[in-house]
Amino acid sequence: MTKTWWKEAVIYQIYPRSFKDSNGDGIGDLGGIIEKLDYLADLGVDLLWLSPIYQSPNDDNGYDISDYQDIMTEFGNMAQFEEMLEGIHQRGMKLMMDLVVNHSSDEHHWFQESRKGPDNPYRDYYIWRKEKPERWPSFFGGEAWEYDALSGEYYLHLFSKKQPDLNWENPKVREEVYEMMRFWLDKGVDGFRMDVIPFISKRLHWPEVDWNDFPKIVEEVYANGPRLHEFLQEMKRKALAPYDVTTVGEAPGVPPALGNLYVGESRKELDMIFHFGHMFLDWGPGGRFDLADWDLKAFKGVFNEWYTALGEEGWVSIFLDNHDFPRLVSRWGNDGDYREESAKLLAILLLSLRGTPSIYQGSEIGMTNVALPSIDDYRDLETLNAWTEAKEKGEDLDQLFLAIHQQGRDNARTPIQWDDSAQAGFTTAKEPWIKVNPNYPAINAAAVLAKPDSIFYFYQKLLRLRKQYLTWVYGEYEMIDGNHPELYAYRRWDEDGEFYFYLNFSETELTELPGPPVEEMELIIGNYPDQEYAHLRAWEARVYRRV
């Protein structure tokens, strides 16, 4: 296994709109990030990933970009960007930008030109068809092909209507993207997280698809297209190779068996991918708002399968939540009586599976899902589109509202709770762009910073342990008692050491711990103040080193 800085690094994802507002307009911004760099350095993370900060009409909060080489006016300007980058580097951290090049905004001048008609020089920057391919569903509801009256044809948008897909078959598009990447690389950024990168190569025979099996459509029609790997290799050669930077591809629709095509070391494509299996365990066939139960066995199975499939050849980035999913403690843990314990347990898991961990902002203070009282409080277009669609179809809105509370993307997008003052100290404005979670008086950064055994310091400690014990990074991984419905136990080992991880994903007291007698091992960290050797209490997690 080759050793590199990005395997040893820990990512911290910032969703700038909700991180910290520095100028009182209710919207997080670069000034806010600059204010909090010491906080992040103190936590001990290495690589900051910023969700998009480019010019955007914000149909999808910046994932619809109208100018790739300018900073979103609401977030600040290029001078502030440079100040921020310098501040990050001064503190020994690195910066990863979000690269959203499957699609642009419809307000990008390329699309404005492209719409004008078949003779426009930008026509082939996007994907136009006189006849509409049938039954292609978009991720955000409705069809993925939209009629454009000005041009008299249909264009493809896998996401919202305001996110037309770029035509990667056109070499000019590819050159534009590489040039834009070099613009940021020359400024000194340290890498890219690539939005839905498996989707950039399209299946040009435009197959008709079975509308009812969305995950299958994603995997077999939208992702892993015929020229994908050619494009990624070209991107590596033409844009990335001369720089010492790293890349993480967001990889929905990529099954484990295809993983090494993306991240296999010899392929020279991407360094890592975010794999998705666990993110869909609690989705029914109807998708995100079709609530289903998940079970620990399947959850463990996802990580096992990826570990086995990649072997010593490829690398992943591990995430348990991000800006598109519920908060990790609410989804995989218990955000009621055992919020602290289960948040710490999940921190152990996140930081000790094989792969580069990605911490989502707010996890380190134990932030939870939110149940905002009215649909009018919601901002995410996926949520709002689902609501409109359900209303039109006369579906059960109460049930949908429950599902929104449980699964909606805005769960992860409420402002970071900095302290217990008005608006959680996120903004001095009367109203932030989205409501603050009402639990902020109890759950906030000031509170965890004042409490020595808090979730924050637990993360800090784990981050140090990960640096101290590189076995947690490079060591082999083996699940123990994989069929256990409540216990997630595993072993990590190499020539420098051997570690046993015991995580109780339940309130049931577990009395039989598999593996060597724990009395004979050294306790490295645990989420209870003491250890009762033979028992793993509710949501208890302990890590041992064999001596």
Active site residues: 195, 250
Q: Could you say whether residue 288 binds ligand ISL (CB under 6 A)?
A: yes
The residue among 172, 489, 154 whose CA lies nearest residue 345 is 489
**Strand ranges across the sheet with 521-526:** 476-480, 487-494, 497-504, 541-546, 521-526
Report the residue number whose CB is nearest to Ca ion: 29
Nearest-angstrom CA–CA distance, 292 and 308: 27
Q: From the list 12, 63, 81, 192, which residue makes contact with ligand ISL (rule: CB under 6 A)?
A: 63
Site of interaction with Ca ion (CB under 5 A): 21, 23, 25, 27, 29
Nearer to ligand ISL, 100 or 489 (CB): 100
DSSP string, 236-270: IIIIITTS--EEEEE-TT--GGGHHHHH-GGG-S-
Are residues 41 and 93 in contact, defined by beta-carbon separation less than 8 angstroms?
yes
Q: Could you say whether residue 475 binds ligand ISL (CB under 6 A)?
A: no
Could you tell me the two tokens for 411?
């769960």
Q: From the list 324, 335, 498, 540, which residue makes contact with ligand ISL (rule: CB under 6 A)?
A: 324
Q: Could you say whether residue 15 binds ligand ISL (CB under 6 A)?
A: no
Least distance in Å: CB of 278 to ligand ISL? 12
Nearest-angstrom CA–CA distance, 382 and 159: 9
Is residue 12 packed enough to be buried (19+ CB in 10 Å), middle (13-18) or exposed (0-12)? Answer: buried
Out of ligand ISL, Ca ion, none, which partner does residue 23 contact, by CB within 5 to 8 A per kind? Ca ion
Least distance in Å: CB of 35 to Ca ion? 11
Q: Within positions 204 to 223, which residues make up the interface with ligand ISL, using CB under 6 A? A: none
Nearer to Ca ion, 81 or 128 (CB): 81
Question: End-to-end CA distance of the chain, in Å?
Answer: 24
DSSP structure class, residue 221: I
Least distance in Å: CB of 15 to ligand ISL? 9
Which phi-psi region, left, alpha or beta, contains residue 350 (left: φ > 0; alpha: ψ -120 to 50)? alpha
The residue among 97, 483, 536 whose CA lies nearest residue 348 is 536
Q: From the list 96, 100, 239, 320, which residue makes contact with ligand ISL (rule: CB under 6 A)?
A: 100
Q: Could you say whether residue 195 binds ligand ISL (CB under 6 A)?
A: yes
135 Cα distance to chain centroid: 28
Least distance in Å: CB of 229 to ligand ISL? 20
Out of Ca ion, ligand ISL, none, which partner does residue 139 contact, by CB within 5 to 8 A per kind? ligand ISL
Out of Ca ion, ligand ISL, none, which partner does residue 21 contact, by CB within 5 to 8 A per kind? Ca ion
Least distance in Å: CB of 401 to Ca ion? 30
Binding-site residue total for ligand ISL (CB under 6 A)?
13
Interface residues with ligand ISL (CB under 6 A)?
A: 60, 63, 100, 139, 159, 195-196, 250, 252, 288, 323-324, 382
